[in-house]
Structures are given as structure tokens and as C-alpha cells.
């Protein structure tokens, strides 16, 4: 299917209107909203990390409201069981006067599932979520049930309160297309938050798109072009996250135990395509790769003991490796 310029412009304008509508309620956090939309239109799951009370849950709720997507919220706790999120078979009377098992859907059967404080659930429950994230299905008593389309898990976790938490396994971390760090608001934003949230009138947001538009935009993004030199650049960036790669920067060699796998490269390209679509462009640039690199790769860098002990900033490592890759490209041209 050939890309049409008018179609590209229309999708870009509707995406911009969605961002603008969300910003009518959400103060600041423009980067967070934009990156969340990147993840949604790339068809991926997103992990948000930030201190309590920064509006992570509210941002997700308002996005689902403006995009008219079915929304459910699950508060993850140590006693949460897999069937609490997937659903379960229950015995019910049938028309013949007997009894039969009927499947009752859990909160996973929504377009957007907010997994609040995901790292508080036990590994057993997290493994049930992992199937939903990876396969878009849930299995209950040997029977597989497909999840709705589109389907996204937008999860939150608190970076400072570690008591009673279960760190996400590497396989599950890799299922998130990106990890967004939610920053503390500025003084001006704090003041505006107080004005908007403590008054008598609650701002109602308009529904601007629906699930069919999201699926259409996802398909459109996949058609955007990636030139060989841009793809090579993304491959080099991914390879540079590994300490045994000869062109890896010194910081990666010193502090990283292991880096991104193939899914990291796939995520780089997918998110970069959506960013290009947001700009109304037909093709992905190196600038797109650079812009999305931190969000896509920060949770795919696993520090060694020395890196953990010195609390090395992963974003700084990614910035360093981007510069190293750019330097290698410049040398190759000469």
C-alpha cells in the first residue's frame, strides 16, 4: 500500500490534536505524554518510573479518555493472583438445566491496561502478564483467549521504595518498548497543578480518536522508509551497548554487564518511525534514532557490580555511545 501525502498530513494533525487536548488537563510532562503516544502508536508497552504523586496514573487515564480506548487499572500487590488479572472460569447454570464453565474476563481484556506499581506483584503474577504482553493472549485452564486490538500495558513503578517489591525479570523488562522517566514538575507547573485540581470545576476532555484510528496509524507508521545508512546507524548504536563490542565507548566497557538484544533494535526503529510520522515525514532520520535512544535503551543496559556501586547514569552512557558511534561514522567517511 502506497503512502499518500494527504493521509500522512491528516494523521499528523490528529496526533497533534490529541497531544493538545491532553495538555488541557495535564500540566507540564509534555515529553512524557509525547513518548507515551510514541509507544502506543508503535504498538508497544511502556514502563513509567517516577516518584509518587507525579501524575503517572492520571496521564494514562487521560490518554485513554481522549483516544476513546477501553481502560482498566490494576493495583499490583504481593497477594495479587494471576487469575485476578486474566480472569477465570466459573460454574454457571445453562439453558438445559445443567451447569457449565463460563469464562469471566479479567481487567487485561481492555485496550489500555494500567499496571500500577508493577514491581509489587509476585513473579507468578508477572509471568501471566508477560504472556499477555508478548503474545496478546491469556491462557486459563489450558484454553487460550485473545486480547482486544489494540492492546497496551502501561506500567508504573516507584524508584525509591524497594521494600516489598519484586524486581522485574530481564525478559519482562525487554517486553517494554520504552521506559520513561517522569521528572518532578517545575515551580510554575506545581502552581498550575494546584489551580487546575483544587477548584470546583473538573476539566472534561473531548474524545478525538478511537481504536480504529490507532490501528490505522500503527499500520501507517510501519510503512515509513528507513534508508540503509540509518538502519546501519541504529545497528551500530545497539551493538555499542555491549561491553565486548570493539567500538563500544569506555563507559560501556567499564560499567555495563550486558546490553540490548535484537528487540532493542526493533524498538529503536519502531519508535523512530512513529516520531517521523508525528513530524509528517515519509522516512526515518538519524536524528529520530538519537532522540528516542535513551527511552528505548535505558532499561536494556544492565550494569555490572561497579556500575551499580557507583550509581552510573544510564542516560549518560547512552549519550556517550551515541557520540562514539557518530565519531566512528565520521572516521569511516574520511
Question: The CATH number of the domain where 173 resides is what?
Answer: 3.40.50.300
Q: What is the predicted pLDDT for the residue at 39?
A: 93
pLDDT higher for 140 or 138?
138
pLDDT band at 331 (very low <50, low <70, confident <90, very high): low
Within 8 A by CB and 6+ apart from 49, the residues are 156, 157, 158, 159, 179, 180, 181, 182
Q: What is the pTM of this model?
A: 0.87
Average pLDDT over residues 32-44: 91
Q: What is the predicted pLDDT for the residue at 20?
A: 86
Grid cell in block for residue 287? 536524528
Grid cell in block for residue 136? 496478546
Single out the residue of 65, 101, 41 nearest to residue 223, CA to CA.
41
Average pLDDT over residues 262-273: 94
Grid cell in block for residue 9? 498530513
Report the Cα–Cα distance between both ends of the chain, in Å, rounded.
39
Residues 85, 146 within the same domain: yes
Average pLDDT over residues 67-77: 89
Q: Compute the distance between CA of residue 120 and CA of residue 324 in angstroms, rounded to an integer.
A: 38
Residues 219, 289 within the same domain: no
Last residue of a domain, one of 223, 251, 273: 223
Residues 229, 205 within the same domain: no
Q: Compute the distance between CA of residue 41 and CA of residue 220 in angstroms, rounded to an integer.
A: 10
Q: In what order do the strands lie in the sheet containing 152-157?
A: 71-75, 112-116, 152-157, 45-49, 176-181
Average pLDDT over residues 240-261: 90
Residues 156, 103 within the same domain: yes
Residues 184, 83 within the same domain: yes
Single out the residue of 40, 31, 27 nearest to residue 71, CA to CA.
40
Residues 243, 108 within the same domain: no
Across 147-254, the runs of DSSP E, i.e. the strands, are 152-157, 176-181
The answer, yes or no, to whether residue 125 has pLDDT greater than 70, is yes
pLDDT in tens, 154-205: 988 877 656 656 777 777 788 899 999 888 777 887 787 777 777 666 667 8
Question: The CATH number of the domain where 265 resides is what?
Answer: 1.10.8.80
Q: What is the predicted pLDDT for the residue at 271?
A: 96
Single out the residue of 224, 238, 206, 260 nearest to residue 66, CA to CA.
206
The answer, yes or no, to whether residue 240 has pLDDT greater than 90, is yes
The answer, yes or no, to whether residue 329 has pLDDT greater than 70, is no
Element at 100 (helix H, strand E): strand 99-105
What percent of the chain shows pLDDT beyond 90? 29
pLDDT band at 1 (very low <50, low <70, confident <90, very high): very low
pLDDT in tens, 205-236: 888 888 999 999 999 999 899 999 999 999 99
Residue 57 structural domain? 1-223
Residues 89, 167 within the same domain: yes
Number of folded domains that form the chain:
2
Last residue of a domain, one of 194, 223, 252: 223
Residues 274, 191 within the same domain: no
Q: Compute the distance between CA of residue 276 and CA of residue 257 in angstroms, rounded to an integer.
A: 32
The four Cα atoms 244, 176, 9, 213 give a dihedral, to 10 degrees, of: 150
Is the CB of residue 49 less than 8 Å from the CB of residue 181? yes
Amino acid at each position: 500500500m502506497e503512502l499518500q501525502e494527504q493521509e500522512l498530513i491528516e494523521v499528523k494533525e490528529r496526533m497533534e490534536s490529541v497531544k493538545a487536548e491532553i495538555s488541557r488537563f495535564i500540566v507540564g510532562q509534555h515529553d512524557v505524554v509525547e513518548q507515551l503516544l510514541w509507544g502506543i502508536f508503535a504498538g508497544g508497552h511502556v514502563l513509567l518510573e517516577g516518584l509518587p504523586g507525579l501524575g503517572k496514573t492520571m496521564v494514562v487515564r487521560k490518554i485513554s479518555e481522549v483516544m476513546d480506548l477501553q481502560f482498566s487499572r490494576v493495583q499490583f500487590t504481593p497477594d495479587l493472583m494471576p487469575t485476578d488479572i486474566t480472569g477465570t472460569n466459573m460454574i454457571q447454570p445453562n439453558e438445559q438445566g445443567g451447569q457449565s464453565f463460563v469464562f469471566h474476563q479479567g481487567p487485561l481484556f481492555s485496550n489500555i491496561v494500567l499496571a500500577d506499581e508493577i514491581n509489587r506483584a509476585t513473579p507468578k503474577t508477572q509471568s501471566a502478564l508477560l504472556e499477555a504482553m508478548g503474545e496478546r493472549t491469556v491462557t486459563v485452564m489450558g484454553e487460550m483467549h485473545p486480547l482486544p486490538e489494540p492492546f497496551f500495558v502501561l506500567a508504573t513503578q516507584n524508584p525509591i521504595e524497594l521494600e516489598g517489591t519484586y524486581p522485574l525479570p530481564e525478559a519482562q523488562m525487554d517486553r517494554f518498548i520504552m521506559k520513561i522517566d517522569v521528572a518532578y514538575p517545575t515551580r510554575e507547573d506545581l502552581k498550575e497543578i494546584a489551580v487546575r485540581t483544587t477548584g470546583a470545576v473538573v476539566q472534561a476532555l473531548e474524545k478525538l480518536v478511537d481504536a480504529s484510528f490507532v490501528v490505522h496509524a500503527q499500520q501507517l507508521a510501519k510503512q515509513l522508509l528507513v534508508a540503509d545508512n540509518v538502519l546501519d546507524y541504529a545497528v551500530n548504536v545497539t551493538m555499542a551497548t555491549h561491553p565486548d563490542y570493539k567500538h563500544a565507548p569506555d563507559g560501556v566497557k567499564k560499567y555495563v554487564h550486558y546490553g540490548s538484544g535484537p528487540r532493542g533494535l526493533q524498538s529503536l526503529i519502531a519508535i523512530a518511525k512513529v516520531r517521523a510520522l508525528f513530524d509528517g515525514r515519509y522516512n526515518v532520520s538519524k536524528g529520530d534514532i538519537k532522540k528516542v535512544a535513551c527511552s528505548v535503551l535505558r532499561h536494556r543496559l544492565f550494569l555490572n557490580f561497579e556500575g551499580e556501586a557507583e550509581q552510573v547514569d544510564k542516560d549518560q552512557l547512552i549519550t556517550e555511545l551515541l557520540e562514539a558511534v557518530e565519531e566512528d561514522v565520521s572516521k569511516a567517511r574520511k
